């Protein structure tokens, strides 16, 4: 495969690109080193990736139509994995346009590039946040998702619909992946595990939303990478049984699919914090807070389709995953 991985300097893009180059695939890693969080962390990830001759970084913004079109024309990718996005639910409340520009305009450029250059498979990151106000657990991709609670979620749901239109019009195989709260070494500084670890080590209070009553399907990074790699190699096809009278939301009569990738094991936020305390060897100072606007109280992934189609489901325990993260954190930050 010759791959374009967008967001390659990001948390998931870094791990995925590392895995793909280790497997012998050529990877062009697109990332504009967006300053949403510490750019040095992104550069450090790129330094590691650049040790492989199979990896090249290009600094292009997804919404730069001209550069995107040129890149696709010159490189002739066989597979594209779109992870670049303005991530984060809370930030979308203060900076809505960042989401419109990267996640909508940028994604349209990715679709156009794939369409005009015979890309064999487009895989793109969606999110568990598309489930929004749905409460039936586990959250299934066969249920409709029409009630997003944040603009971030709305852009991710829009990506799925945009992808479907290209699968229909241009027969472009597309697979959307709804990731459920991803964590692990080299993780994002705006996410709970990073913030909690940092503050517990520094003996500062941690903000615990919804009074610790959040329930999440925390998914370890290696499981996400395994799922993405398997799905990428398994090109989306049409569902021969798809029926417009009873439309299944996550398949189609076009080469279009959407999967959940989650751990399928729900953990209360308070237990997650307890494990961090055990590994760090210090007690947290709790600052209990109400639910934040745009956040959902619980997520739990139904991963039966993933299991059925690619023979894999995540199963790393938080005890193992949190320990791996904290080992990395202590070493990287000398903490």
Q: How far is the CB of 46 from ligand NAD (least distance, A)?
A: 9
Distance CA 10, CA 153 (A): 19
Q: Provide CB contacts within 8 A for 70, sequence distance 6+.
A: none
**Three-state secondary structure call for residue 227:** helix
Helix (H) or strand (E) holding 7: none
Q: Calculate the CA dihedral of residues 153, 155, 158, 163 and round it to 10 degrees.
A: -110
Binding site for ligand NAD (CB under 6 A): 7, 9-13, 30-34, 42, 61-63, 83-87, 102, 106, 125, 127, 179, 181-182, 188
Closer by beta carbon to ligand NAD, 238 or else 268: 268
* Chain residue whose CB lies nearest ligand NAD: 10
Least Å distance, CB 165 to ligand NAD, is 19
Q: How far is the CB of 284 from ligand NAD (least distance, A)?
A: 21
Q: Which is nearer to ligand NAD, 61 or 232 (CB)?
A: 61
Q: CB count, 10 Å around CB of 313?
A: 20
Nearest distance from C-beta of residue 95 to ligand NAD, angstroms? 12
- Three-state DSSP string of 255-318: CEEEEEECCCCCEEHHHHHHHHHHHHCCCCEEEECCCCCCCCCECCECCHHHHHHHCCCCCCCH
The residues assigned a catalytic role are 152
256-261/55-58 β-pairing: unpaired
Q: Tokens standing for 202? A: 């520094």
DSSP 234: S
Q: Which is nearer to ligand NAD, 21 or 61 (CB)?
A: 61
Report the residue number, 193 or 280, with the smaller CB distance to ligand NAD: 193
Q: Which is nearer to ligand NAD, 188 or 313 (CB)?
A: 188
Shortest reach from residue 157's CB to ligand NAD, in Å: 12
Q: Which residue has the tokens 């001759």?
A: 53
């Amino acid at each position: 495969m010759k791959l374009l991985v967008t967001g390659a300097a990001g948390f998931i893009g870094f791990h995925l690109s590392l895995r793909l180059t280790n497997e012998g695939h050529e990877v062009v890693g697109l990332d504009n080193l967006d300053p949403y969080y510490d750019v040095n962390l992104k550069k450090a990830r790129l330094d590691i990736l650049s040790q492989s001759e199979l990896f090249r970084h290009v600094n292009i913004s997804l919404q730069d139509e001209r550069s995107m079109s040129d890149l696709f024309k010159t490189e002739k990718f066989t597979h594209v994995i779109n992870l670049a996005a303005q991530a984060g639910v809370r930030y979308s409340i203060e900076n809505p346009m960042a989401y419109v520009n990267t996640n909508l305009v940028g994604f349209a450029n990715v679709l156009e590039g794939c369409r005009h250059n015979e890309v064999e498979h487009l895989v793109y990151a969606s999110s568990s946040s598309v489930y929004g106000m749905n409460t039936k657990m586990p959250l299934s991709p066969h249920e409709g998702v029409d009630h997003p609670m944040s603009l971030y979620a709305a852009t991710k749901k829009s990506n799925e619909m945009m992808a479907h239109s290209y699968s229909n019009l241009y027969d472009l195989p597309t697979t959307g992946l709804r990731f459920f709260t991803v964590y692990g070494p080299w993780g994002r500084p705006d996410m709970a595990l990073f913030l909690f670890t940092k503050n517990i080590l520094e003996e500062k209070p941690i903000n615990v939303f919804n009074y610790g009553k959040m329930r999440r399907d925390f998914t370890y990074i290696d499981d996400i990478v395994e799922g993405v790699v398997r799905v990428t190699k398994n090109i989306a096809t049409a569902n021969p049984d798809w029926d417009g009278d009873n439309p299944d939301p996550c398949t189609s009569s076009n080469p279009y699919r959407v999967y959940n990738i989650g751990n399928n094991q729900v953990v209360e936020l308070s237990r997650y914090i307890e494990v961090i305390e055990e590994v760090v060897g210090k007690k947290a100072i709790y600052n209990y807070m109400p639910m934040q606007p745009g956040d959902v109280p619980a997520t739990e992934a139904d991963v039966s389709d993933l299991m059925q189609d690619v023979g894999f489901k995540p199963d790393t325990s938080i005890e193992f995953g949190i320990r791996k993260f904290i080992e990395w954190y202590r070493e990287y930050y000398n903490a």
